Structure 1
């Protein structure tokens, strides 16, 4: 925010600066692009709006930082960052409410909510073009849909193992530049870029990691886990945010990506919590069995005779 307000030659897109000319005047802060600022601010909004009260004692500091984060989010005018921020905040609040339900019903409620959300998204797809026009946005997601339709047939030339890690610049960029005259930094989709780099094998590994995260969360929902009211809403909100942000941006394989780091932290949190919960369950079961063995069994009178 300081760079954007007081050092605009660095913190705001300039006509001769790096990046697309159409972003002139938008905030980018210390980042090279407004979308980087918007996506980083989305995670900061989640942490300072919902979870900072558990860590930061100063109410003034929390509120000032939250205002600064909000200014960066709106100054960057990153639609992806704003949508992801709202989705993560809503997810964390909804998951906190879910924890008030009985443990046996939690997975059912979570599965039903996911089903209705998917149904609502599918039903809303026909009206998205109208919504984009009202917001002043392009229906093709700021040119991303044409990029995907161009890159996907090329990616299908090596569908099993892909072109290799960090191969976008060598395998895709020259062909796309020769066709359109536009230089791309990435595929603008983490899922598509994973497919380009590692093919179906990469997508299968990515799906296995994402499904493993869900399994850990469901396991914790069914059992008494430590710090669940803080850990689970935070980790699940991060998970949903990473899933959403990678639809329109390439973060899974990006260098120095805050998304990759924060998703790794969320995964470690739920994995360690599951291990601790499992150890606690085993310990309680062992303790109960020891007590049962220690209590002398009553022999029936008929058996004594």
Structure 2
């Protein structure tokens, strides 16, 4: 009976993991190809999947008892983050909407966290890898079989989006997950040609055909960061690692400064809207708005609501349905102190993992790939919303990377916990440490 319960619990957790990834991707069949018709899409299937995820999580706790999760440890910094979020909700003029957003975020985040605590970093990585592989295959076939749906029309005519709602999301997703395939194809598999090489090529092709400048920058940023992070992990001195990271961060900062300074000229050269389709004017208004409530913000997820954004449309000149920036999202949502704390958690986990001594080159390459994905998400956040404390798939990718980095950075500080499997002697994690 005990074996059956273990297998049933395993089935629940694996089903939960894949379910929340599918739900947050918002993929669906037969979406309108024109952007102005996307508002007609019904997301009832995604709402039903979210309800099912909550039911499955409740079923897991019922089968295994509350004791199965009460041993989870949470760090003081995370408690402070949770406090900041709750205070932002309590202080919000739209506290009910903010609370609903928090519940929506927890409904997709908790299942992955529970899965990670029971099966470890490598199992979580394999879930993402399998999902990415399935997505590139299914979306590519979907475009070939149903181009009237898989390829956008009107103002985005010819842009591939597959089963995703929009070509920007499709391109960004494949740009980020291509790093998983790149690692498997060229740094994990030993054969000269393997299926991962083909899938990586298809993923890059999808990024290009999505006609998303953001996605192309993300792809280049992920692969470039992967190479830099491998150099970092190969150094034996923690001081040398830290200086290389500071240098790379300085280069990225300088590059971003130059990019924003000459943004209009660059976009005009490539035939793009110099205002990034109105985003720059939008950000000017929203940043000024953040100064009105700098400490607690307006409430978590409030500016994810189209009706809230519509209230300020006259100030930035167009009907934007989101902030188009995850940094603006989180600052408006929970204020500057909590936003800084959240970014601090990301930096601490990534740097801590990179400064940890790696037992093998395979482990080092795996770590470099995870941190490169985090860099890619930070690039995504500069032009898209929902990546930080959100309810979309990019937030789950960032959260998963954070968990893996956190486990690696703590692996030398405490003895290993029981038999939570990780990269089968290739990637070592410490699942007993707190997050």
Paired position in structure 2 for 1:103: 237
Shift of 1:2: 2.1
Shift of 1:210: 2.1
- Residues 91-100 or 35-44, more deviating: 91-100
Q: TM-score, normalised by structure 1?
A: 0.79
Q: Larger radius of gyration, structure 1 or 2?
A: 1
Shift of 1:36: 0.6
Write out aligned runs for 1:57-136 (5 A). Answer: 59-104=193-238, 105-123=240-258, 125-136=260-271
Shift of 1:112: 2.6
Write out aligned runs for 1:21-40 (5 A). Answer: 22-40=155-173
Deviations 1:40-91 (A, max 9, x none): 1102321222334526979342233123212211111111111011111011
Partner of 1:191, secondary structure, is helix
Paired position in structure 1 for 2:327: 191
Partner of 1:133, secondary structure, is helix
Asked whether 1:137 is paired with 2:276, we answer: no
Asked whether 1:12 is paired with 2:151, we answer: yes
Shift of 1:147: 1.0
Paired position in structure 2 for 1:300: none
8 Å contact from structure 1 (residues 231, 270) kept in 2: no
8 Å contact from structure 1 (residues 151, 172) kept in 2: no
* Alignment equivalent of 1:164, drawn from 299, 309, 312: 299
8 Å contact from structure 2 (residues 222, 375) kept in 1: yes
CA distance in 1, matches of 2:302, 2:251: 38
CA distance in 1, matches of 2:141, 2:201: 13
Paired position in structure 2 for 1:19: none
- Residues 95-104 or 239-248, more deviating: 95-104
Asked whether 1:48 is paired with 2:181, we answer: yes
- Residues 54-63 or 128-137, more deviating: 54-63
Partner of 1:138, secondary structure, is coil
Paired position in structure 2 for 1:237: 372
Shift of 1:219: 3.3
User: Are residues 56 and 249 of structure 1, via their aligned partners in 2, closer, same or farther at CA, if it must alter by over 3 Å?
Assistant: farther
CA distance in 2, matches of 1:208, 1:269: 16
User: Are residues 110 and 204 of structure 1, via their aligned partners in 2, closer, same or farther at CA, if it must alter by over 3 Å?
Assistant: closer
CA distance in 2, matches of 1:252, 1:77: 24
Paired position in structure 1 for 2:338: 202
User: Are residues 236 and 183 of structure 1, via their aligned partners in 2, closer, same or farther at CA, if it must alter by over 3 Å?
Assistant: same
CA distance in 1, matches of 2:190, 2:403: 22
Deviations 1:239-271 (A, max 9, x none): 11111110110121432x222112122112121
Paired position in structure 2 for 1:258: 393
Partner of 1:216, secondary structure, is helix
Shift of 1:31: 0.6
CA distance in 2, matches of 1:157, 1:36: 31
Higher relative contact order (CA 8 A, sep 6+): 2
Deviations 1:78-130 (A, max 9, x none): 11111011111011112212333332422222223322443344345444433
Partner of 2:206, secondary structure, is helix
Shift of 1:32: 0.6
Shift of 1:23: 1.9
Shift of 1:170: 6.9
User: How many residue pairs were aligned?
Assistant: 272
8 Å contact from structure 1 (residues 165, 197) kept in 2: yes
8 Å contact from structure 2 (residues 350, 405) kept in 1: no
Paired position in structure 2 for 1:279: 414
Shift of 1:137: 1.7
